[in-house]
Amino acid sequence: MSRKFFVGGNWKMNGDKKSLGELIQTLNAGKVDPNVEVVCGAPSIYLDFARSKLDAKFGVAAQNCYKVPKGAFTGEISPAMIKDCGVNWVILGHSERRHVFGESDELIGQKTAHALESGLGVIACIGEKLDEREGGITEKVVFAQTKVIADNVKDWSKVVLAYEPVWAIGTGKTASPQQAQEVHEKLRAWLKTNVSEAVANSVRIIYGGSVTGGTCKELASQKDVDGFLVGGASLKPEFIDIINAKA
């Protein structure tokens, strides 16, 4: 089964209307592979701005959401609010949410369930830290994180799994294409055993870990790498090269 290549740009807590407006102009004018699904993760305060300015061929994602539709949760946003801005995706479980803000696997699972029930697509992030990789427990960690997500998914067509080795985010270190492929292949095998063969074959597993214009082509050539979740490089013109990595 052919899986449509998926490239997400996670802008994180960066940009203002001026710089993001210029980035959006660059993306709108860029020549991008029509066979790639592209989604830009904007800061929540700029979701409306990004959706109104970006060409319709690009999707927009929130970078987080809460697990209920509304209520006394100061500072949070709900899937209903995200959808009200015309936005159809959310990034959940990013390593920064897990390790900077202390979100548990359980909370990420609850958010995933509610986002999907609300009709959002979910880019669900998993990945191990450096001490976990060096300790030889990469599989144990990513399988445990994946299980909590899987337990909260009824419709896998709305889910993209993003494998992000935490040790390769913002550190300048990148997992080699072979290291990325190895984990993606094992994740697909886990899905086959624990969810279904159909889901294992159809779900897109994308790689995020300091992806750049220089590393993207070889990573994209790996059998089980179905795209990228891009951090810093998604704020630069080279994001277009990354989108076109398969071209």
Q: Catalytic one among 114, 132, 164, 184? A: 164
Largest pairwise CA distance in the chain: 48
Residues 6+ apart with CB under 8 A from 100: none
Percentage with pLDDT > 70 across the chain: 100
Mean pLDDT of 235-241: 97
Model confidence, pTM: 0.97
pLDDT at 129 over 90: yes
- The 10 Å Cβ neighbour count of residue 214 is 12
Tell me: the pLDDT tens digits for 200-235? 999 999 999 889 999 999 999 999 999 999 999 999
- Delineate the domains of the chain, giving CATH numbers in brackets: 5-243 (3.20.20.70)
pLDDT for the residue 144: 98
Q: Catalytic one among 94, 114, 132, 184? A: 94
Nearest to 122 by CA among 108, 141, 104: 108
SS3 79: helix
pLDDT for the residue 169: 84
The CA distance from 131 to 128, in Å, is 8
Plot region of 129 (φ>0 → left; ψ -120 to 50 → alpha; else → beta): beta
Percentage with pLDDT > 90 across the chain: 95
Say which residue the tokens 């992000």 belong to.
164
- Asked if residue 80 lies in contact with residue 70, where contact means CB atoms within 8 angstroms, the answer is yes
pLDDT at 171 over 90: no
pLDDT for the residue 1: 58
pLDDT for the residue 77: 98
Active site residue 99: no
Helix residue ranges per DSSP H, 101-214: 105-117, 130-134, 138-150, 177-194, 197-202
pLDDT at 174 over 80: no
Average pLDDT, the chain: 96
Active site residue 94: yes
Tell me: the pLDDT tens digits for 81-110? 999 999 999 999 999 999 999 999 999 999
pLDDT for the residue 170: 78
- Asked if residue 237 lies in contact with residue 131, where contact means CB atoms within 8 angstroms, the answer is no
